[in-house]
Amino acid sequence: MEIIIRFFIIAIVMALLYVFCSLIFSLWVFPALAYRKLKKNGLDGPSPSFPFGNIGEMKKENINVKSSSISHDIHSTLFPFFARWQNSFGKMFVYWLGTEPFLYIADPELLKKLSTEVTAKNWGKPAVFRRDREAMFGNGLVMSEGDDWARHRHVITPAFNPTNLKAMASLMVETTNKMLDNWTTLVDSGTQEFDIEREITATAGEIIAKTSFGISYQSGRLVFEKLRALQTTLFKTIRFVGVPFGKMMHPKKALEARKLGQEINQLFLSLIDERRKMITGSGPQNDLLGSLLKQSEHGGFTKSLTTKEVVDECKTFFFGGHETTALAITWTMLLLATHQDWQDQLREEIREVVGDKEIDVNMLSGLKKMGWVMNEVLRLYPSAPNAQRQAKADIQVNHELSIPSGTNMWIDIVGMHHDPALWGEDVNEFKPERFKDDIHGGCKHKMGYLPFGFGGRMCIGRNLTFLEYKIVLTLILSRFSFTISPTYCHSPSIVLSLRPSDGLPLVLQPL
């Protein structure tokens, strides 16, 4: 008996020792070794402290600046710590989120070199974010890696072919007109001020619900509400991403996020179930969900997605598909409200290109100035303000830089879009004409303008966005003029995407 007890105690001590050593290695030794390797390249950065890394400084400086005047110099207000560290360490340095070192990159030349060294399939996403955002994206296209990513991308790409996009256009027109009819009724009954962010987000939500999932906004509302609640739960609390056991600092929020994630999964599972029953019929199944299901039923082993993967893609598209586009249109409305000359120019262009005719997809390419405006808005206010990567193997960039496998990278898109060295001294001014004869807007480096990301992992939905952006804006500008409300407070903030913290109140006037 005594021997058994002794054996039992030794086993427990060994197990505890193993857990302790694993923790020390994963939280201390491995990150420190990776850091040393990075530093050998001559990289510097702010000094971290255990176990928070540089999170303390970042939180302290991250004050939500609200102002009645509108400055587009948002990098220094959104990321004051990055702006400060750039001044001290340059456009590439190492900082720490908890016990995870991150290579900060705002140098387009380095990105170009990395892109030639690493193919899309071999780029990973930082494990720390994959875990943190699991409830939101699961292992959908945004977060998947390697062969999984290639398979998902292969299955999803056909859903965005020009024929499918064209078929979505009439639903976009119909849904936008419904919003505008409602605005007309409200203006007639005395309302002048509208929260445009809320309006556009609801309409973009309705568009994605109809075009991607073949459901009404009403049916999709529960999903939207839960996704929004999940987004707020995940991104609005003081978070400790990368800090060991960071989720335990907000146990209630972590549980809430998990529960919301499971409820959203369940909602999508019933949606998929219903569509699976329909797919045996011969009706058109060319929306996103129809395409995914068709592929998973008939795509063959190498091309198919499991039901769990289809759910993850649905979440990714429900969220990514409406929020980013809605925000691009919202920021455009702000910039046009404060630049009446551009509002007039776009209206004139619409008169010339569309006239009194119904909008036709083929006309949209003629809206050149609208394209410049969109590019300039996405430069100043990129809906996706950063991109993240993780090296899946050692990367050697010429003889200059050696990045060890496992290195996390943070690509500061806002930082590059607001860099005077790349754009000139007028970098923070709204000047759509930059894009007149140049798709890079006169940026001194082709990789300095990345609103839709880069390389093979570039945004899969960008053509859908161009289509929706031009249709919604054309219809709004044809029926309303707008000015900024005196109650507007300029306070861009990041809740995963870049958004106006307090909405966008505009005063509308029917034309």
Residues contributing to the annotated binding site for heme: 459
Q: Is the dihedral of CA 237, 414, 81, 128 positive or negative?
A: positive
Distance CA 174, CA 424 (A): 42
Applying CB under 6 A, which of residues 54, 383, 390, 493 lies at the interface with ligand HEM? 383
**DSSP string covering 255-279:** HHHHHHHHHHHHHHHHHHHHHHHHH
Q: Which two tokens stand for residue 146?
A: 């390697």
In the range 431-460, which residues lie near ligand HEM by CB under 6 A?
Answer: 451-453, 457, 459-460
Give the nearer residue to ligand HEM in terms of CB position, either 83 or 200.
200
* Residue 292 in the binding site for ligand HEM (CB under 6 A): no
Q: Which is nearer to ligand HEM, 48 or 140 (CB)?
A: 140
Cα 102 to chain centroid, rounded: 19
Q: Which is nearer to ligand HEM, 383 or 485 (CB)?
A: 383
Annotated binding-site residues read 459
The torsion of the CA quartet 52, 58, 64, 68, rounded to 10 degrees, works out to 180
Q: Are 56 and 47 contacting, i.e. CB atoms less than 8 angstroms apart?
A: no
- For 123, the 3-state DSSP assignment is strand
Measured from the CB atom, the residue of 27 and 92 that comes closer to ligand HEM is 92
List, in sequence order, every beta strand (DSSP E) within 35-121: 92-97, 100-105
CB of 293 to ligand HEM, least distance (A): 17
Separation of alpha carbons 270 and 53, rounded Å: 42
Site for ligand HEM in 317-376 (CB under 6 A): 317, 320-321, 324-325, 328
The nearest distance, CB 87 to ligand HEM, in angstroms, is 26
The nearer residue to ligand HEM, 27 or 135, going by C-beta atoms, is 135
Which C-beta is closer to ligand HEM: that of 46 or that of 124? Answer: 124
3-state secondary structure of 365: helix
Choose, by CB under 6 A, the member of 54, 316, 332, 485 that binds ligand HEM: 316
Question: CB of residue 60 vs ligand HEM: minimum separation in angstroms?
Answer: 28
Q: H or E segment at 196?
A: helix 196-213
Judged by beta carbon, residue 135 or residue 384, the one nearer ligand HEM is: 384
φ/ψ bin of 491: left (φ > 0), alpha (ψ from -120 to 50), beta (otherwise): beta
Angle of helix 340-353 relative to helix 307-337, nearest 10 degrees, comes to 110
Of 107-166, which residues contact ligand HEM (CB under 6 A)?
Answer: 141-142, 153
In the complex, minimum distance from the CB of residue 452 to ligand HEM, in angstroms, rounded to a whole number = 5
**H-run or E-run covering 310:** helix 307-337
Query: How far apart are CB 500 and ligand HEM at their closest, in Å?
Result: 15
Taking CB positions, which residue lies at the least distance from ligand HEM? 461
CB of 321 to ligand HEM, least distance (A): 3
Taking the complex as a whole, the smallest distance from the CB of residue 164 to ligand HEM amounts, in Å, to 11
Mention every residue, 6+ apart, whose C-beta is less than 8 A from residue 147. 121
Identify residues 37-96 at the interface with ligand HEM (CB under 6 A): none
List contacts with ligand HEM (CB under 6 A): 141-142, 153, 316-317, 320-321, 324-325, 328, 378, 382-384, 387, 451-453, 457, 459-461, 464-465
